[in-house]
Amino acid sequence: MKVTMDLDILIEDDRWDNLGFDGLAQAAITSTLLHLGIEPSSVEVSLLACDDARIAELNAEFRGKPLPTNVLSWPSEELSAEKPGAVPNPPHPDPGGALSLGDIAISYDTCQSEARTQNKLFSAHVTHLVVHGMLHLLGYDHIRGPDATLMETIETEILGKMGIDDPY
């Protein structure tokens, strides 16, 4: 069964092409949405596949941290749960019925370095970080302990269904 969604991918670093990033991202996002009971065909997401220099610029601009990081996300709406460890609020569709969830940026350099350091397959680590970014778009977070436990549990469940070992 082929699931389609409005996934806008911009690859700024050609190294991502060697990984088959488009297919990997599509699978990670679709698996995340289906796990959470969200119809993928109603979803709009933008994804930037870049390098450390670009993500450091974005991190400085939006978080005041002029350093590279693995993944950043910009949700279209605030969905976080008020109570620690609770499931976030569901996204609201626009008048046309689409769920515009937001934007994700991911850095090749940091992801590759982390995968090597942690003895993980690069593709598995990138898949995990795309799932992680999607969960942020859907209101999940890891700042408060109970929220982190919930988010990590869901990530592990999604990745397990995809045949990827527990990243934690």
Q: Is residue 114 part of a domain?
A: yes
Q: Does the pLDDT of residue 29 top 80, yes or no?
A: yes
Phi, psi of 63 (to 5 degrees): -125, 0
Does residue 27 form part of some domain? yes
Question: pLDDT tens for residues 30-61?
Answer: 999 999 999 999 999 999 999 999 999 999 99
Of the two residues 9 and 2, the one the predictor is more confident about is 9
Indicate whether 1 belongs to any domain: no
Share of the chain above pLDDT 70, in %: 98
C-beta neighbour count of 53 within 10 angstroms: 12
**Residues 73-81, mean pLDDT to the nearest whole number:** 96
What is the extent of the structural domain holding 49?
Answer: 6-161
Q: How many residues does the chain have?
A: 168
Q: Give how many domains the chain has, as a whole number.
A: 1
Phi–psi pair at 65, nearest 5 degrees: -120, 100
166 lies in a domain?
A: no
109 located within any domain: yes
d(CA 85, CA 12): 36
Whether 10 maps to a domain, the answer reads yes
Average pLDDT, the chain: 95
Check: CB of residue 46 under 8 Å from CB of residue 102: yes
Domain-embedded: residue 167: no
Question: Is pLDDT at 149 greater than 50 in this prediction?
Answer: yes
Q: What phi and psi values does residue 11 have, to the nearest 5 degrees?
A: -100, 110
134: in domain? yes
Determine the pLDDT at residue 2: 47
Position 142 scores a pLDDT of 94
The model's pTM is 0.95
CATH number at residue 70: 3.40.390.30
3-state secondary structure 103-127: EEEEEHHHHHHHHHHCCCCHHHHHH
Separation between Cα atoms, residue 105 and residue 59, nearest integer Å:
10
